[in-house]
């Protein structure tokens, strides 16, 4: 029994890895989380009684750049995944760092944006637009930050040789999270920024 159980442990009914399945379940849940935040934003964005409105303050060109950076980090993480799946550890490490860099750049842009808004008179307590905007983009930024920490810990555990037997699945699971954070930003960018005059 002792010998058999290890193999049995990895037997699964659907033939898929449980961690990936769990990540997809989490993603389903996150749809409702971001849905609530986006709905709150859309209900509140034009209800403010004072202060800057979205059209007065949102900066489309700057955010387009950071959106592009995040989109490309999705590209780099599939390359990292391909690297680890095909045994090319050097490529994996290169691209996982590049992805973390992309996430960090995105967070840098967001920090700049938030600071700029506060200087222009829009804080989270200025009006209901400010509250719902900062909560939505802040929650997304927190997800990116968690992702960057996760990416870096994958990188460092690879360097220290601790990323071994099921490394590909671990990276695969993380990549799913990263892509989801990216596609949610696609939605946020469109709804919050590009629909600003609608």
Partner 1 sequence: MSATTPVAAAHGPVHGTEHEHPGPKTYAKIAIVLTVITAGEIWVFYIEQLKFLLVPVLSVLSAVKFALVAMFYMHLKFDHPVFTRLLLAGMVLALGTFLALLALFTWSHPLLKLLAG
Partner 2 sequence: MTEAVLPHPRENYGLSSWLTTVDHKRIGILYGVTAVVFACVGGIEAMLIRTQLIVPNNTFLSPDLFNAMFTMHGTTMIFMFVMPLNAAFFNYIVPLQIGARDVAFPRLNALSYWVFLFGGLLFHLSFVTGHLPEVGWFGYANITTKQFTPGPEVGLLGSVIPKGLQYPVSGTEFWIVGLQLLGLASLIASINFIVTILNLRAPGMTPMRMPLFTWVTLITNFLLLLALPVITVALFQILLDRHFGTRFYDIGAGGTVMLWQHLFWVFGHPEVYILILPPMGMVSEVLPTFSRKPLFGYPAMVYASAAIAFLGFSVWAHHMFTTGMGAMATAIFSAATMLIAIPTGVKIFNWISTMWGGSLRMTTAMWFAVGFLAEFTIGGLSGIMHASPPIDGQHQDTYFVVAHFHYVLFGGSVFGLFAGLYYWFPKFSGRLLSEPIGKVHFWLTAIGFNLTFFPMHFLGVDGMPRRIYTYAPGFNLETWNFWSSIGAYITLLSALVFFYNVFVSLRGRQKAPADPWDARTLEWAIASPPPAYNFASLPDVQARDDFWYRKHEAKTFKPEPEHVHVVLPNPSYWPLIVGAGITLMGAGFLFAYVLTFIGVAVTLVGAYGWSFAKFEG
Shortest distance, position 118 Cβ to partner 1, whole Å: 25
Site mask for partner 1 (CB under 8 A), range 87-126, x = bound:
----------------------------------------
Q: Which of 55, 56, 60, 121: binder of partner 1 (CB under 8 A)? A: 60
Nearer to partner 2, 26 or 194 (CB): 26
Which of partner 1, partner 2, none binds 135 (CB below 5-8 Å, type-dependent)?
Answer: partner 2
Q: Which of 28, 55, 149, 159: binder of partner 1 (CB under 8 A)? A: 28
Number of residues that bind partner 1 (CB under 8 A): 60
CA-derived radius of gyration, the chain: 20
Residue 198, interface with partner 1 (CB under 8 A)?
Answer: yes
Nearer to partner 1, 72 or 118 (CB): 72
d(CA 5, CA 136): 46
Residue 3, interface with partner 1 (CB under 8 A)?
Answer: no
Structure-token pair, residue 66: 């950071």
Q: Which residues contact 188 (CB under 8 A, 6 or more apart)?
A: 34, 38, 136, 137, 140
Taking alpha carbons only, the member of 12, 41, 43 closest to residue 132 is 41
d(CA 66, CA 73): 11
Shortest distance, position 87 Cβ to partner 1, whole Å: 10
Residue 59, interface with partner 1 (CB under 8 A)?
Answer: no
Q: Exposed/middle/buried for 152, CB within 10 Å: 0-12, 13-18, 19+?
A: middle
Q: Which residues of 71-81 are buried (b: 16+ CB within 10 A; e: fewer)?
A: bebbebbebbb
Check if the beta carbon of residue 33 is closer than 8 Å to that of residue 175: no
Binding site for partner 2 (CB under 8 A): 1-2, 5-6, 8-9, 12-14, 16, 18, 21-22, 25-26, 28-30, 32-33, 35-37, 40, 43-44, 47-50, 124-128, 130-132, 134-135, 153, 157, 162
């Amino acid at each position: 029994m002792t010998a058999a159980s290890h193999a049995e442990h990895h037997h699964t009914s659907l033939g898929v890895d449980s961690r990936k399945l769990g990540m997809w379940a989490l993603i389903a849940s996150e749809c409702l989380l971001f849905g609530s935040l986006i709905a709150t934003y859309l209900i509140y964005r034009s209800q403010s009684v004072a202060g800057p409105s979205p059209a007065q303050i949102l900066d489309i060109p700057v955010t387009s750049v950071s959106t592009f950076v995040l989109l490309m980090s999705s590209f780099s993480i599939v390359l990292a995944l391909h690297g680890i799946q095909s045994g090319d550890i050097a490529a994996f490490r290169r691209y996982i760092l590049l992805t973390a860099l992309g996430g960090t750049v995105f967070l840098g842009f967001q920090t700049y944006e938030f600071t700029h808004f506060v200087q222009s008179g829009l804080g989270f307590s200025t009006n209901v637009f400010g509250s719902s905007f900062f909560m939505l983009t802040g929650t997304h930024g927190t997800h990116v930050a968690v992702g960057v920490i996760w990416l870096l810990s994958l990188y460092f555990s690879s360097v220290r040789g601790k990323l071994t037997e099921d490394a590909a699945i671990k990276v695969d699971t993380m990549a799913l999270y990263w892509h989801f954070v990216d596609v949610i930003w696609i939605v946020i960018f469109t709804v919050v920024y590009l629909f600003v005059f609608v």
